[in-house]
């Protein structure tokens, strides 16, 4: 297998990459925030029926506010990442073989060996490649031909990184 494709200097592309990578890492803040807000709201509602409710209600409200702020943290980080990364729009290329993934962007290049990739997450626009527990890079499907995307999908499924279709 040898797949090569170019990445145009699209100002929106680095923002989409940053948003995809940060959403994976920040998803837990949304879950924690939802739990905090729910526990705080339930605690606030229950505390109203007891004499000690006034003492606990401020704690419950703090939990609700903290939960809401935690849920808003992830979208805020993604928005900032999109804004900042728009300045980094440079042409680049991917060169994917059976052994590794090489990426070139401007004057920099780097690569990841397939043996180091532990999992691949499938999103609507990208495949997010993990090395260990950390997302390492993305492969944009929309920039590839349909045949190359299917060849790569089959390769990743064969390696046990993706579920076969």
Helix (H, G, I), strand (E, B) or coil at 161: coil
Run of H or E including 23: helix 13-47
Print pLDDT tens along the chain (165 aa).
888 887 776 655 656 666 666 666 677 888 899 999 999 999 888 887 777 777 888 888 999 999 999 988 878 876 776 666 555 555 778 889 999 999 887 777 888 899 999 989 888 888 888 888 888 888 888 888 999 999 999 999 999 998 655
Packed helices 53-85 and 13-47: angle between N→C axes, nearest 10 degrees: 180
The whole-number pLDDT of residue 116 equals 92
Count the neighbouring beta carbons within 10 Å of the beta carbon of residue 36.
20
The whole-number pLDDT of residue 134 equals 80
Burial class (CB in 10 A: 0-12, 13-18, 19+), 94: buried
The whole-number pLDDT of residue 29 equals 84
The whole-number pLDDT of residue 67 equals 93
- Side by side, the strands of the sheet bearing 126-131 are 119-122, 126-131, 134-140
Burial class (CB in 10 A: 0-12, 13-18, 19+), 34: middle
pTM of the model: 0.59
Torsion angle, alpha carbons of 138, 139, 142, 147, to 10: -160
The whole-number pLDDT of residue 68 equals 93
Run of H or E including 158: helix 146-158
The whole-number pLDDT of residue 155 equals 92
Sign of CA dihedral 31, 37, 41, 47: positive
Burial class (CB in 10 A: 0-12, 13-18, 19+), 130: middle
The whole-number pLDDT of residue 82 equals 63
């Amino acid at each position: 297998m040898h797949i090569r494709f170019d990445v145009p200097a699209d100002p929106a592309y680095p923002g989409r990459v940053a948003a995809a990578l940060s959403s994976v890492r920040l998803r837990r803040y949304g879950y924690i925030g939802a739990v905090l807000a729910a526990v705080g709201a339930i605690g606030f509602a229950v505390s109203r029926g007891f004499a000690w409710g006034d003492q606990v209600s401020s704690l419950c409200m703090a939990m609700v506010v903290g939960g809401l702020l935690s849920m808003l943290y992830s979208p805020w980080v993604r928005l900032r990442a999109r804004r900042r990364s728009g300045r980094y729009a440079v042409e680049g290329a991917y060169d994917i073989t059976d052994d590794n993934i090489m990426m070139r962007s401007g004057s920099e290049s780097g690569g990841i060996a397939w043996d180091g990739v532990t999992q691949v997450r499938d999103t609507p626009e990208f495949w997010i490649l993990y090395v260990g527990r950390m997302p390492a890079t993305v492969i944009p499907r929309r920039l590839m031909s349909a045949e190359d995307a299917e060849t790569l999908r089959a390769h990743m499924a064969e390696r046990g990184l993706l579920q076969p279709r």
